[in-house]
Amino acid sequence: METTKNKTTLLIMAAGMGSRFGSLKQLALLGPHKKTLLHYSIYDAVHAGFDKIVFIIRRSFEKEFKEAVGKYAESLVETVYCFQEMDQLPGNLPPIQREKPWGTAHAIWAAKEHIHEPFIAINADDFYGRDAFVKMHDFVAVNTDERCFSLAGYRLAATLSENGTVSRGICTVDNDNFLTSITERTKIGREGDVIKDMNSGVILHENDVVSMNFWGFSPMLFEEIEKQFIEFYHKNSENPKAEIYIPFVVDELIKQKAVKVKVLNTSAKWFGVTYKEDTELVNNALQKFDGEGLYTDMGQ
């Protein structure tokens, strides 16, 4: 199907919510409006100009999810639900008994029948900020090169937690701000005035660009995921915990020179409740945004 240039879709990966939180009712209601961080992403996306939202969820909590979040999205924009199931595999591969879903690349692939236009993919439980949504939307809305993806690039200092170490993908870009590599560092924190990777001792910098899994794609990604998934499946058929992540798929495509990825630097601050103690900081930030008039009309 021909890509529709003027339509843009936000794909929200929420299939992991049930396993991480046990129940959607345990999702923290934050800020002055007592909404989840997902509500804020929906609000920001609609105000940035997205035409459609596609949720990837699991059937086991479909009803609960629609009640908690879906109805809010439906009141604002065209909303579609699709399902990540462990026995739904590319290439008619036979299901394998597994302990957990196949990962974010498989989750995105599960939405292939519902997306025929440029789209953005995000995690359900992060706060990305209005600036990032606007820049990513405006890029994919006019980008006509299906082999040019995009990525929101955050300042490392804007993504740290005051309550412990974090895992981040440190981006390397060329002179034209195209991504050349992402290095996953799994234990980043502050030591006095210094930011470092506690595992390796590598010193990092406040302005280092990091990926928070906020990607812009064209529909050709689905075919590329399918190719890589089939190979991954055969290599990992004996490993019930192996997952194929979207950064790995993109990195492989960059190595093959099959795609390029434009990094769009954002001034937004990223929030997530990595630690229980982060809740107060997030609440304070959302209260501040509300005071600035950003979310005053979120409604009930």
Instruction: Name all domains of the chain by residue range, CATH numbers in brackets.
Output: 9-146+211-257+274-292 (3.90.550.10)
Give the closest residue to 228 by CA, choosing from 54, 56, 89, 86: 89
CB 82 within 8 A of CB 114: yes
Residue 118 Cα distances to 3, 111, 297, angstroms: 7, 13, 28
Q: In the prediction, which pLDDT does 299 show? A: 62
Q: Does the structure show a pLDDT above 90 at 260?
A: yes
pLDDT tens-place string over residues 174-207:
999 999 998 889 899 999 889 999 999 999 999 9
Backbone φ and ψ for 68, nearest 5 degrees, come out as -75, -35
Question: What per-residue string of b and e applies to 137-152 under the rule 16 or more CB within 10 Å gives b?
Answer: bebbbebeeeebbbbb
pLDDT tens-place string over residues 106-149:
999 999 999 999 999 999 989 999 999 999 999 999 999 999 99
The CA radius of gyration of the chain, in Å to the nearest whole number, is: 19
Q: In the prediction, which pLDDT does 92 show? A: 79
pTM listed for this prediction = 0.91
Widest Cα–Cα separation across the chain: 54
- 216-228: average pLDDT: 96
Provide the mean pLDDT of the chain: 89
Q: Which residues partner with 260 through β-bridges?
A: 148
CB 126 within 8 A of CB 17: no
Backbone φ and ψ for 86, nearest 5 degrees, come out as -65, -20
Backbone φ and ψ for 99, nearest 5 degrees, come out as -90, -25
